[in-house]
Amino acid sequence: MDNGLVSYKITEPMMQVFNVQEKSDWIIYNRYIQRDLELCKLLIDQDLRNTKDNNEFAFYILGLIYREEGKIKNSYWCFDRYYALNPLCVEGVKQIARSCLLLGRNDEARKMYLEAEKMSREPDTKVYYNLGLCYLNLGELDKSKEYFHRTIQLSRNQDAYEKLASIFAIENNFKNATSILISASKLFPFSTNISVDLGLLYMKQRDYDQAFNVLGNTLCQDPENPKALLTLAAEMQRNFGYDEALAKYTKAVTDLSECSETWNNIGMCFFGKHKYVAAISCLKRAIYLHPFNWIALYNLGLVHIYTRQYVSAFVFLSTSAKLNPNHAGTFMLIGLALNHMNDTRNAEKAYRKSIELNSDNPEALINLTILEINQGKIKEAEKNFHAFQEACLLCGSIDKEIIELGKQVSDAINGQPQSFDEHEDEKLESDEPCYAEVE
């Protein structure tokens, strides 16, 4: 804030003659500092009338006030006047550039900031940070990273750390993103934003224990932080702690009653507790709130398969597949639903599509194998069963039921091919994806 004054004195050392008009500057400054903005505006108005628009400091403060009120265009105009009155001052250029940035004119902002960089005698972290923002908005990530790095080297700027980490996350470079956030969290141990981001990053890398630690710490500082609550609850849910997770969700839901993902997770909690009706109504609310939420649709389909309503399941799953055609699990479930409705031809197609999307997918493979055994295509079944065994080896954690099923199928293929009817009714355990991110 007082930058405006200081730079004014620095840039014009010759003109430090205090004439009459500058006497009012400190009053305006005082009022501004005391946040008496209405009075401040009146004073500025009066002052500008007295000096016939020749008081640059008044323009500067007026610009800041307008910006806080959200009137960026007016603020831009003020800083423009400031710049016109005092073209040698870096601060004016910086503020005009900032206004451009806030108005979304990134290219212009970038040019102004580059000019400001040239004008300032020593490196200015604000300029670097904002240049980083401009490049980020313009999509030039490399340059943006470079400027944020410079900012961090010169100062401790929390925002710069966050932005840098988010750029790394966009580039899927989670390692760098985490290391940046770790160093940031050492510098700013009380910032919940950073620790929540860090926790979410750990979640994305499937490093659940670390995420749990970090988010637990966050909740100690801010017990109501919705992002941390949701993520922690999702983590508990993953570990089958449904009741604890539900408690956390109900805490968060007061804030986020319109958040589709929360309702999705709550629904899946109920599903985990085998309360299917509650699960269905929660998932339906999730879809009501966000009709394009394919995960909720997928989960709803899953629940309907469990409640043996195969037509409904098929409708929801096909909707989910239309919204996101790249999820292998959806097609597998569609196949299952179709199989139960005795449409084996299309079921087979769905299984094959699922395998095509994700070739080491033990569930789809075993289901396809069983289908083929039932149709008497033993040779193809054998081939798929081998693929299944390989997929089982590749995957880390597999459900016991699937292994059990695999054993039965291998018996059926090797020993007595007559007894394959008994394991026709296969059940599918499938991971329910829990997305805890708040949009």
Partner 1 sequence: MDDTKVIASLDTFYSACMDLRKHNYDRCIESCTIILSKNPYDQAAWALKMRALTEQLSIDDIEAEEEGIADSYFNSDAIAENARVGTSLRTAQDTSNQRPRTVGGRPLSGIVRPSTSSAGGNNLQLALKTPRTVGSSRPLTSQTARNIRLGTASMVSQIDGPFINISRLNFPKYASDKQLSKLLFNYIYYQQNDIRNALDFAVEATKFCNFKDPWWKVQLGKCYVMLGLLRDGEAQFRSALQHGPNIEVFLRLSRLFIRLDQPLSSLDICQKAMSWFPHEVTLLIEIARIFEGLNNIPMSVKYYRDILELDATDMESIACIGLHHFYSDQPEVALRYYRRLLQMGLYNAELFNNLGLCSFYAQQFDVVTACFENALRLALDDNAADVWYNISHVAIGFGDLDIAEHSLHLTLSLNSSHGAALNNLAVLQWRKNNVSQAESLLNSAIAAEDHLYEPHYNRALLAQEEGDHQTSYAMVKKSLSIYPNHYNSKDILNELKKYFSSL
Residues at the site binding partner 1, with contacts judged by CB under 8 A:
1, 3, 67-68, 70-73, 94-95, 98, 101-104, 106, 126, 137, 159, 255-259, 281, 284-285, 287-288, 291-292, 297, 309, 311-312, 315, 318-323, 439
Lookup result for tokens 């990273």: 145
Between residues 114 and 138, which has the closer beta carbon with respect to partner 1? 138
Angle 405-411-414 (CA atoms, 0-180°, nearest 5)? 140
Between residues 94 and 353, which has the closer beta carbon with respect to partner 1? 94
CA atoms of 175 and 258, how far apart (whole Å): 33
Between residues 319 and 354, which has the closer beta carbon with respect to partner 1? 319
Shortest Cβ 37–partner 1 spacing (Å): 12
Shortest Cβ 175–partner 1 spacing (Å): 28
CA atoms of 168 and 257, how far apart (whole Å): 31
DSSP string, 120-149: -SS--HHHHHHHHHHHHHHT-HHHHHHHHH
Between residues 72 and 201, which has the closer beta carbon with respect to partner 1? 72
Shortest Cβ 142–partner 1 spacing (Å): 20
Give the CA distances from residue 350 to residues 45, 292, 316, 359, in Å, rounded to whole numbers and listed in that order.
Answer: 72, 22, 15, 13
Residue 194 near residue 158 (C-beta atoms within 8 A): yes
Shortest Cβ 335–partner 1 spacing (Å): 18
CA atoms of 98 and 94, how far apart (whole Å): 6
Between residues 324 and 344, which has the closer beta carbon with respect to partner 1? 324
Shortest Cβ 320–partner 1 spacing (Å): 7
Shortest Cβ 157–partner 1 spacing (Å): 10
Between residues 266 and 287, which has the closer beta carbon with respect to partner 1? 287
Tell me how crowded residue 164 is: count the other CB atoms within 10 A of its CB. Answer: 25
Between residues 7 and 384, which has the closer beta carbon with respect to partner 1? 7
CA atoms of 165 and 180, how far apart (whole Å): 6
Between residues 137 and 346, which has the closer beta carbon with respect to partner 1? 137
Q: Which two tokens stand for residue 391?
A: 């997929």
Nearest to 370, CA basis, from 415, 400, 402, 392: 402
Q: Both ends of the chain: CA-CA distance in Å?
A: 33
Angle 222-226-229 (CA atoms, 0-180°, nearest 5)? 80
Shortest Cβ 399–partner 1 spacing (Å): 29
Shortest Cβ 256–partner 1 spacing (Å): 6
Residue 84 near residue 60 (C-beta atoms within 8 A): no
Residue 363 near residue 430 (C-beta atoms within 8 A): yes
Between residues 124 and 426, which has the closer beta carbon with respect to partner 1? 124
> Computed over its alpha carbons, how large is the radius of gyration of the chain?
31
Between residues 73 and 383, which has the closer beta carbon with respect to partner 1? 73
CA atoms of 169 and 42, how far apart (whole Å): 47
Shortest Cβ 371–partner 1 spacing (Å): 25
Shortest Cβ 355–partner 1 spacing (Å): 22
Residue 266 near residue 246 (C-beta atoms within 8 A): yes
Q: Which two tokens stand for residue 279?
A: 């699960």
